[in-house]
Amino acid sequence: MTASIAQVTFAGYLALMLVIGVYAGRFTERTPADFYVAGRTVGPLALALTLVATVLSAFTVFGIGAQTVGTGLGAFSFLGLAAVFYTFVFASVGVTLYRIGRQRDVLTPAEYIRERYESPTLGIVYLAVTGIFMIAMLAGQLIGGGVALDTLVDIPYTAAILVMAAFMIVYVHLAGYRGVVWSDVVQSTVLFVVLAGVVGYVMIGLDSASIAAEAATVEPSLFTLPGPKGTWTPLAIATAALAFTVGVPGYPHTIQRYFSAADETTLRRSGVLFALVAIPIYLFGTLLGAWALGVVSVPDPSDHVIPVFIESISHPVVFGIAMAAATAAIMSTADSVALTMSSMLSRDVYRVVVDPAASDEREVVMTQAFLIATVVLSVLLALAQPAGIFDLIAFAVVGFATTTAPVFLGAYWRGATVAGGVASLVLGPGVTILFFLEVIPPTYTFGMHYGFVGVLVAYGIFVGVSLLTSAPDAHSISAYSRSIVLDRE
């Protein structure tokens, strides 16, 4: 009975997303500006909720629970700290990129790189490197949904992935960014309400203190730092938070959201609203993961501990809604990643290298084609299941962090160069990938998060090489950076 109700709920959720996509498509023009950034008209609440939906991916429902069970409640410490930092980045770097985007009609992150450094090659290098992490991010979402729906709702893994991918392709294909934003508003709301409702039920309807005490009996170090495995030392928390602080605001799909804001005030307000929604969601996830240890046995895989806990304490309808919330977290990130990558392939590769004379309408058609190709590639990777959900998505986050030096510093520093950008985009992510694959032993992080080490390498190389090479012409987009930020000398 549980499975059938959950399946009906899941199907209803997908149908709702399709309806939203079809309806949003009625308002979507087939121009790059409208298809990629909704004509730069997104208001503060919608922008905040689409940021929440983009950032809070599959690991919010699945990965955080597994991480909490394995390493303790300290998992919340770096996530909550990073969410506060995101607000300041949105209001500073985000606003700067918004200004440049509006003044120069920049629509994609790779286009910004290409124009800022007067280098189509650097734009393609940026796309190629971030593409690795975008595919990893997208595959991680599909893996999370596929495994959960297979194990918990009796929808076969392959079928679950294919259905989610197909629905995502349809509503993004129809409505572009406007469809993504409208669906994200619904998905963020569903995720918040469901997690808050379950936490409230445990605290009010059940004996949460006894449940927590039982969890502490199972794992005495669960509620203390550095946790059962000694993971959450002050250095680890700080460096993980800093790596995520650079990575999340530096997602290509986050950067594209800066370009979509209606105005600067919208972007600043959305940053504050983001923190007010995201921090509680992070807390809800870690609390549910910790409480689960006092009620259920840790499942295999442990990524399912929160859904299994919810299933054990609630009515099948509630569990079905919870799985819809999990699906919301998955698809809200996946659709954003897919649209951003396909838009960069169309605008920054096809229209620059293959067919410079292509019309705006042709560019949008190619974006829709690349969207299908991107999702198909991610489905193939998801079918291979190369890593756990938290590990794969965390790898993508810190990987994005190592690609941000030419983006963030380029908006402020007139001395940033193409050579510095290429070196940074090759060596920073390269070191991060080698740490992830354990080709470089973890001991070489010296207690820091491996992603933070990659960020240090990326930024250090960027600055060092830029100091030794020539900057772009003064008439490039850097002139706009100076007029906005740097004329303070």
CA 331 from centre of chain: 11
CA 123 to chain CA mean position, Å:
21
The whole-number pLDDT of residue 480 equals: 46
CA atoms within 13 A on the CB side of 119: 24
Quick one: pLDDT at residue 388?
61
**Contacts of the segment 359-362: beta carbons below 8 A, 24+ positions apart:** 360/30, 360/31, 360/32, 361/30, 361/31
What pLDDT was estimated at residue 120? 92
| Residue 39 exposed, middle or buried by CB count within 10 Å (0-12, 13-18, 19+) | middle
> Which residue, 419, 454, 418, 422, is CA-closest to 435?
454
Tokens of 252: 């290509």
Residue 12: predicted pLDDT: 83
The whole-angstrom separation of Cα 387 and Cα 475 is 46
Q: What is the b/e burial string over 376-409, where b = at least 16 CB atoms within 10 angstroms of the residue's CB? A: eebbebbeeeebbbbbbbbbbbbbbbbbbbbbbb
Question: What pLDDT score was predicted for residue 489?
Answer: 36
| pLDDT value at residue 481 | 47
CATH numeric code, 2-386? 1.20.1730.10
Chain centroid to CA 394: how far? 10
Which pLDDT tens digits describe the chain residue by residue (489 residues)?
A: 455 777 787 788 878 888 888 899 899 999 999 999 999 999 999 999 999 988 887 677 777 888 899 899 888 998 999 999 999 999 899 999 999 999 899 999 999 999 999 899 999 999 999 999 999 888 888 887 887 788 777 888 899 899 889 888 888 888 899 999 998 898 889 889 989 999 999 999 999 999 999 999 999 999 999 999 998 999 989 988 888 888 889 999 999 999 999 999 999 999 999 999 999 999 999 999 999 999 999 887 787 888 889 989 988 878 888 887 777 778 788 889 999 999 999 999 999 999 999 999 999 999 999 999 999 999 998 888 766 666 777 788 889 999 999 999 999 888 999 999 999 999 999 999 999 888 999 888 888 888 889 999 999 999 999 999 987 665 555 444 444 444 333
Give every CB contact of residue 165 below 8 A, 6+ residues apart in sequence. Answer: 142, 375, 376, 378, 379
- Give CA–CA dist 410/417, Å, rounded: 8
Q: Number of H helices and number of E strands within the chain?
A: 21, 0
